[in-house]
Amino acid sequence: MSRLDEIKNQLKEKFSEIFEKLKETELYQKADEKYQSLTPRGQKLTRYASAFLLVFFIIIYPVSQLQMSSDLVAQFEVKRELLRDLFKTYRESSASPVLPSPPQGSELISQVQSMLSTAQLLPEQIVNVGLVESAGHLIPQKLVNSVVAVQLSRLNLRQTVDIGTQLANISASIKVKDLDMTATEGKAGYFDVTYKLYAFNVPQAIAEAAPDIEVPNKGKKKKASDEISPADGGGLKE
């Protein structure tokens, strides 16, 4: 006899023993009396109901619990990925360099003029570099430090792109928001270009306070014997 057959026989004997003990209980005897008092149709319905309940507890209930567990695991995975993304975003934002304070309007104009002097432009191509008012309501006025308009004429496409790139790289707190291009009259392939540089007010970084660490008071708990002063002959310390 194989080991598997031995296990089967042991299980059969165990179930038989349990069933015999169950038959001796008062609850089973009352249920059996009620079952015997039923009509054949009632006994048949009772057997079907018992079989259904048995199948439910053996198969359907574990399957439903397994499905519920799978749903909970899926929700956990989604929340875990969300937390990972939040921590990643927090680390990236913490590691990003602090934006420098924007230059004032006059200083920005000087930087633009210095940059244009190295762009190999003719004097007549630099029409004007000056302060202008902020246009539109997309950006709150309190965030705008100053706006500088750079008006140039007779630029080809390559010059337009190169100068725009250099203007955008003056400072991380300065952005080229507007770019107006119109064809130069009488010169095909050339444009009159106006760049508008916005210098934004950079909010100062708020230093996060270090968390308060409560130092455990080792002398908080004292034994009753420690509170007795030897000098007082058994008296308590004040």
Q: What is the structure's pLDDT at 204?
A: 59
Dist CA 129 CA 114 (whole Å):
11
Which CATH code fits 105-200?
3.30.70.60
Residue with the bigger pLDDT between 152 and 91: it is 152
pTM above 0.95, yes or no: no
Torsion-angle region of 217 (φ positive above 0: left; ψ -120 to 50: alpha; else: beta): beta
Alpha-carbon torsion (175, 167, 130, 111), positive or negative: positive
Reported as a single tens digit per residue, the pLDDT across 171-201 is 888 888 889 999 999 888 899 999 999 988 8
Dist CA 176 CA 149 (whole Å):
10
In this structure, what token pair is assigned to residue 28? 């089973």
Q: What is the structure's pLDDT at 97?
A: 64
Strand bridging mode 126-131 / 144-155: antiparallel
Reported as a single tens digit per residue, the pLDDT across 137-166 is 777 778 888 899 999 999 999 999 999 999
